[in-house]
Amino acid sequence: MKKLLLLAFLMLPTAAAAETVSFFTEEYAPFNYRDGKLIKGATVEQVEKVMADIGVDYTLELVPWARAYGMAQTTPMTCVFATAHNSTRDPLFKWIEPLLVDRNILITKTGSGVKADTLDEAKQYTVGTQREDYTETTLKEKGFTKLDVASDFNATLRKLLGGRIDMMPISELYFDKLKQEQPLEMVTVLSTQPMGIACQKDFPDDLRRRMQVALDKLIADGTQRQIFQKYGLTLLH
């Protein structure tokens, strides 16, 4: 009996560790960003509340998007957010959504002279994006060939402001805030999509369901909207 009890005791840490979820996200304020030693943002707060509601341990790390996206495809108990849910990505992950619904637009530096009323007209310009970001796939699917691919969003933005690229895609929600700080203007709409938590394909179904129920509660009781308002964002439907 003592051996059985000892064996059960030794197995407890392993079981607890297996239940821990590893979250990865990128630097993309005000949705997810580093503030000193803390990681904050409108999507980060939703993830924190979801995990607190279901009582499951988790870790959260902010890394370049390509690494975050790759980890969520290959590493068990790993999720990445906020991830655009489209037909290409649908079979690659298990999903908890929406953290938000967003339009992605093409923007340019104010005074650049870049003009395009349609996506076909926009294809003549060099467009910057991030490696493994869904906008890279979206641009390619829509026939854009003059692409400049950087490691992260901030690198692409620096190129745009420095005149090294003509346009870049960006969340319309983020653009509404960023244009108050930077000389930027909208060119045209690129796509519309839900953004969610994307988890590795072997992620436990029961845990995914519990997370989805917790997120649904945040949406239904108005907490998600309040979080967006806190960060100066307007929630789209």
Question: Where are the chain's structural domains?
Answer: 21-100+195-230, 102-193
* Residue range 102-193 in CATH 3.40.190.10: yes
Q: Which alpha helices (DSSP H) does the chain contain, by range? A: 2-19, 42-54, 65-74, 119-122, 134-141, 153-161, 172-178, 205-220, 223-230
How long is the chain? 237
* Residue with tokens 């923007």, as numbered in its chain: 107
CB-based contact 30:41 (threshold 8 Å): yes
Neighbours of 162 (CB within 10 A): 9
**So what's the pLDDT on residue 203?**
98
- Written as six digits, the tokens of 35 are 């503030």
- Identify the CATH number of the domain defined by range 21-100+195-230: 3.40.190.10
Cα four-point dihedral sign 161, 194, 63, 60? positive
- Give 29's contacts (C-beta < 8 A, 6+ positions apart): 41, 174
Q: What is the pLDDT along the chain (237 residues), one digit of tens a residue?
A: 444 444 444 444 433 345 899 999 999 989 999 999 999 999 999 999 999 999 999 999 999 999 999 999 999 999 999 999 988 899 999 999 999 998 999 999 999 999 999 999 999 999 999 988 889 999 999 999 999 999 999 999 999 999 999 999 998 988 988 999 999 999 999 999 899 999 999 999 999 999 999 999 999 999 999 999 999 887 765
| pTM listed for this prediction | 0.74
Q: Are 11 and 65 in contact (CB under 8 A)?
A: no
